[in-house]
Structure 1
């Protein structure tokens, strides 16, 4: 079938298998071009099919030849209907990993559930014995608690007052004002329940109790802080409350891993175009300006470049550099004073008419469509594509 992008708001309803595969191959080639490390050999990635999680799986496999288990919740294809992009990404990764002689298996299911945790634990026992690293890169808007059955839904709202500022419709380029009403009721509690650290700790506790975590085991969860421009709706909003909980959980996990010398870290990553970030008002405008500045400075990174630097310069360091709050800061280039000063100046000038000149909206849009396998260089989108792609190592 000929597959074209069909968008609705900040999501694309279709995905292109060939484009997704090319994206994955490009990331693999990037890691292959970098120096190898004596890093982890057995890695579990929770949220392994897109964005930072996918980049982490690729970096683990091709920087230190790690065996990887990827966990995700993706929609498989049906005749005449494409799969979600993460499905095609995972299929492409496993196809190439197996070709290169690397162990790679995947589980498609609800990572919050006890059933998927049990299935993953058994796979580790059967195939790997233990794991060295667990990457927690889960991004979900809802969570059903595995014990109580209560369903929580996260919200993106400021805390304490209405937030008003500019954003951009990246499809049309229109810069417009947006207002978001403040959180109320159980909004904060629900968002923390979905995006905080409870599930991360549940994973570690269960794996540790089963004895499948190696000596000096490490686990890393991903977070974001961002600039003052976005803090009212992000870091000081409901999502920020969840990120605070996630970061506090790292210390609790480290305490529980004393028996094996294990450590838990939160890595604060750079603002990038992901399916999650595209849904956050203000962020698309901020990213389009940030991209412009960082590209001009020669310090722009996509997901794979960011994660390669995280693995090379941080996770494999003898003494991992941390900020005053105990976090890894791989957002250091984004948060440089000169970069943020330039973005702030551009923000004051950002209008529908000026954005094409002062921002990188084209780069934002390209990255957005790349997430779904579209607008990828070298792909012929006029050719028929087979939507019915299997994931080679998918576990039943």
Structure 2
């Protein structure tokens, strides 16, 4: 046990310390939001591999899969352990609590900490799946990363968040001494090398390599499905997102989905999933998203969809309980609540009017600030932040009951 008095130590939307009890409480709340367990049926739940299981939509999909659908299998995340200077990463603490909840629910699910882009982690995951679970029914790919080492060439690619073609100038939400104000953002246009590097990091290359790795080991079950998380978003944020370097990467991801779906040839299916807006560690790095999301939350009110809400819908579609809901580009759409024309018109009106004097009336700025803090275990109701916290939390033990039969 290592008791520490810890402080957030944040710089803008980035926190250098995480609070273990706060992170665990966030996971508990998400777990409670998931739908009740489905009827047990005749056998165990599907075998799933969730790549990016410690944060955002990957974490939400993991929790819904475990509690509602009796999912078995493996979650992969890349999280920093505790050091003498800093706590462990928030995803480390979230994963530890997720593993505890999975064990309490009787789920046979384990977690691997490592760089999912690497050949070594792919091999280790395949070994574990083959030995313990058998063939995989579902692979969820949900990774947002600043860099990727190409395992074929060894080259390190760095992603950038920039517009393409022309510079980007827009409003942005900043906090000074916890008080929100509207700032001005200027981003220069990316060059071709930056665009290509971002596609290498955030596009479909790694997703395809994961399918290759599992297929080479005969680990794809009959009826195998795989999905990767994507986003479209509003015309307001399009210049820096969908029409920017990240958008180029998302287009590559969607092209990869169609290629994989054709390759699986009816024995399986691959789709991208267009999720709605959310406050995640990845999204807070995108300029203008903070203001847009704060306004969107105020506009949507009771129709706002959390990542857990959207993950529950996704699981319902993937299991066949409801229609898959593909658009004309073959993408699963979960963002209808955000992209409703009336919602987008109201967001645009508020966006155009927003300045430092009006922003708190037009946008849920306090909500947004608290949501960012909760990504790291801060601003969580019921947590005593004045008491020293036990920051030494072990990564979940992989030991557990072995499953010798497969449901497919």
Matches within 5 A, 1:118-157: 118-157=123-162
Q: Is the 8 A contact 2:21 2:389 kept in 1?
A: yes
2:390 aligned counterpart, secondary structure:
coil
Q: Is the 8 A contact 1:81 1:387 kept in 2?
A: no
**1:345 lines up with 2:349 in the alignment:** yes
Q: Distance in 1 between matches of 2:100 and 2:15?
A: 24
**1:275 lines up with 2:281 in the alignment:** yes
Q: Distance in 1 between matches of 2:377 and 2:322?
A: 38
**1:61 lines up with 2:66 in the alignment:** yes
**1:8 lines up with 2:14 in the alignment:** no
1:318 deviation in Å? Answer: 6.1
Q: Is the 8 A contact 1:314 1:328 kept in 2?
A: no
Q: In 2 relative to 1, CA 36–180 (structure 1 residues): closer, same or farther, beyond 3 Å?
A: farther
Structure 1: give runs of 5+ residues left out of the alignment.
none
What is aligned with 1:95?
100
Q: Is the 8 A contact 2:163 2:187 kept in 1?
A: yes
Matches within 5 A, 1:184-203: 184-203=191-210
TM-score, L = length of structure 1: 0.95
Aligned match of 1:392 in 385, 393, 396? 396
Q: In 2 relative to 1, CA 89–214 (structure 1 residues): closer, same or farther, beyond 3 Å?
A: same
Q: Distance in 2 between matches of 1:314 and 1:355?
A: 39
Aligned match of 2:79 in 74, 88, 95? 74
**1:105 lines up with 2:110 in the alignment:** yes
Q: Deviations over 1:187-244 (max 9, x none)?
A: 1110100000011001001101211111101111000001110101100001000000
Q: In 2 relative to 1, CA 80–389 (structure 1 residues): closer, same or farther, beyond 3 Å?
A: farther
Matches within 5 A, 1:231-242: 231-242=238-249
**1:250 lines up with 2:263 in the alignment:** no
Aligned match of 1:383 in 377, 382, 387? 387
What is aligned with 2:166?
161
1:33 deviation in Å? Answer: 4.0
Q: Deviations over 1:234-257 (max 9, x none)?
A: 000010000000001001111222
2:107 aligned counterpart, secondary structure:
coil
Query: How many residues in Structure 1 have an aligned counterpart in Structure 2?
Result: 392
Q: In 2 relative to 1, CA 47–90 (structure 1 residues): closer, same or farther, beyond 3 Å?
A: same
